[in-house]
Amino acid sequence: MESLSSFFAMGGYAGYVWPSYGLAFVLMVAVLVTSARGVKTAERELEQMQSLRPGRRRRAQQAASVTEVPET
């Protein structure tokens, strides 16, 4: 128990060491979560648009693929 509290004390520098790790953790999780959410919403929206117009799906895909071909 004593070793645990001395671990958290960080030789008296707890107020500097732990906030460093805390900030890195919070920011990295935040960026990861927002990125994962962004993929989900963007890909869902794309799917909806494509399924709403099944008849025109091929044409739409062709239209979409126009941007994919690099113009030189």
Partner 1 sequence: MHRFANPARFLRLSALIQPWAAAIAVACLAGGLYFALFASPADYQQGETVRIMYIHVPSAWMGLFCYTAMAVFSAMALIWKHPLADLMARASAPVGAAFTFICLVTGALWGKPMWGTWWVWDARLTSMLILLFLYLGYMALADAFDDPERGQKAAAILALVGVVNVPIIKWSVDWWNTLHQPASVVKMGGPSIDSTMMVPLILMAVGFKAYWVLVLILRTRAEIAAAKVRTLRMAQIHAAGQVEQA
Contact call for residue 2 and partner 1 (CB under 8 A)? no
Question: At its nearest, how many Å lie between partner 1 and the CB of residue 40?
Answer: 8
Percent helix, strand and coil across the chain, each to the nearest 5: 90, 0, 10
37-56: which residues touch partner 1 (CB under 8 A)? 38-39, 41-43, 45-46, 49-50, 53, 56
Contact call for residue 68 and partner 1 (CB under 8 A)? yes
Alpha-carbon distance of 26 to 24, in angstroms, equals 6
Contact call for residue 4 and partner 1 (CB under 8 A)? no
- Residue 35 DSSP one-character state: H
Contact call for residue 72 and partner 1 (CB under 8 A)? yes
